[in-house]
């Protein structure tokens, strides 16, 4: 497992939420440590678009004090690269 983006910004399509945290590559899946969720963009660029997830531990407790953990298969995630793309794209 390796950290691929500290301070990632993602859009979670099913919930229409923006996520912020740290992203890890775990082979054919991604592990996201999430410290903030928002209906509005948190940053101007997004690094991932997440279409589905397999597990989301502590989803309702997500905060800067208590991170939640999401596991998504790579087939359900679009990685927009380290520098990301504009949120409006």
pLDDT in tens, 42-62: 999 999 999 999 999 987 777
Residue 64 has pLDDT above 80, yes or no: no
Predicted structure pTM score: 0.91
Q: How many domains does the chain have?
A: 1
What pLDDT score was predicted for residue 60?
79
Residue 88 has pLDDT above 80, yes or no: no
pLDDT in tens, 12-32: 999 999 999 999 999 999 999
Range(s) of the domain holding residue 40: 2-86
**What are the backbone angles phi and psi of residue 49, rounded to the nearest 5°?**
-115, 125
């Amino acid at each position: 497992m390796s950290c691929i983006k500290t301070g990632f910004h993602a859009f979670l399509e099913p919930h229409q939420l923006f996520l912020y945290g740290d992203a890890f590559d775990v082979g054919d899946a991604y592990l996201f440590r999430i410290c903030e969720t928002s209906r509005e963009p948190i940053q101007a660029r997004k690094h991932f678009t997440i279409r589905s997830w397999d597990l989301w531990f502590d989803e309702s407790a997500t905060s800067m004090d208590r991170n939640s953990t999401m596991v998504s298969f790579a087939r359900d995630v679009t990685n927009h690269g380290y520098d990301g793309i504009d949120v409006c794209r």
